[in-house]
């Protein structure tokens, strides 16, 4: 096992997560700004890297569970459309819990299906036409040998 892969073991991930949490509780504000924030951010980056490199673990399997993947696909739409349905101080029944939750999900799903998916299809078609026109107009690169 390479040094890189050995860093991604479960034992180190628990340590990195613990360091991220503990760095948040450094008592001195100046030390927190100087050291704590950097240590916390590096630890979080390490855990995110580990989680996104497909390490076999219960966490990796949980993050790849289809309902969570679907929430990830909708995450930007959920982010955009939660505001109208969670506006505090408004006496609007649409913003009251618990009916606001399915309304947020419905708005995000509608946005995804009616706006994002058509634009993703358009992007795919445009990329294919650009790549196709480049390959048709440009000759294939030649391999040159170095003497």
Q: What percent of the chain has pLDDT over 90?
A: 18
- 42: how many CB neighbours lie within 10 A of its CB? 14
Q: Where are the domains of the chain?
A: 1-61, 65-137
Residue partners of 104: CB distance under 8 A and separation at least 6: 78, 81, 82, 85, 86
Residue range 6-40, pLDDT digits in tens: 666 666 667 777 777 776 676 666 666 677 777 77
Residue 97 to residue 78: CA distance in whole angstroms: 16
pTM for this predicted structure: 0.55
Lowest mean pLDDT among 13-17, 106-110, 142-146: 142-146
Residue range 40-61, pLDDT digits in tens: 788 778 777 777 676 667 777 7
Selection from 39, 40, 53, 38 nearest residue 7 by Cα:
53
């Amino acid at each position: 096992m390479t040094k890189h892969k050995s860093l991604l073991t479960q034992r180190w991930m628990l340590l990195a997560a613990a360091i991220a949490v503990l760095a948040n509780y450094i008592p001195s504000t100046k030390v927190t700004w100087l050291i704590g924030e950097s240590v916390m951010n590096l630890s979080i980056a390490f855990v995110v890297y580990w989680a996104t490199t497909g390490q076999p673990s219960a966490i990796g399997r949980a993050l790849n569970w289809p309902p969570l993947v679907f929430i990830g696909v909708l995450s930007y739409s959920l982010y955009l459309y939660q505001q109208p349905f969670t506006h505090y101080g408004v006496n609007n029944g649409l913003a009251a819990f618990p009916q606001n939750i399915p309304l947020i999900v419905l708005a995000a799903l509608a946005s995804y299906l009616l706006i994002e998916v058509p634009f993703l299809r358009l992007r795919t078609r445009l990329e294919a036409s650009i790549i196709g026109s480049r390959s048709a107009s440009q000759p294939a690169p030649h391999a040159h040998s170095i003497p």
